[in-house]
Amino acid sequence: MLRLATALLFAILAGIPQSAVADKLLIERIGNESGMNLPTRGMSMAQVERKFGAPASRMEPRGGQKRQWPTINRWTYPNFVVYFEKDKVIDVVAIRAGNEEIGPKAPIR
């Protein structure tokens, strides 16, 4: 019984992709960096700019062609990208530090 449980555990662990382990490193880095203060969901564009300063770039808005497709704006900061639906934050994504780190890349312009 113990051999079966050990073999099953090994099979499960062997099936975990290495990228899942590496992605955790980006999350841990962001959580451990001192001063990594990020915008929160629901903040307005004005609140984000007041608290974090002007973004490095404001990408072209996407969507808005139909009423059910809201306009999505993206602002890029050195360590993260803020996504807005109309003028409210809906998500913030950290940018990976370098080529050796696995995680989200800088957004496509």
CA of residue 57 relative to chain centroid, distance? 17
- Rounded CA-CA distance 106/109 in Å is 9
- Rounded CA-CA distance 85/15 in Å is 37
- 2-21 core/surface letters (b: 16 or more CB in 10 A; e: else): eeeeeeeeeeeeeeeeeeee
**Residue pLDDT tens, the chain, 109 long:** 556 555 555 556 565 555 555 555 555 555 555 456 889 999 999 999 999 999 999 999 998 888 888 999 999 998 889 999 989 999 998 876 666 666 656 666 5
Ordered by where they begin, the domains of the chain are: 2-94 (3.30.1450)
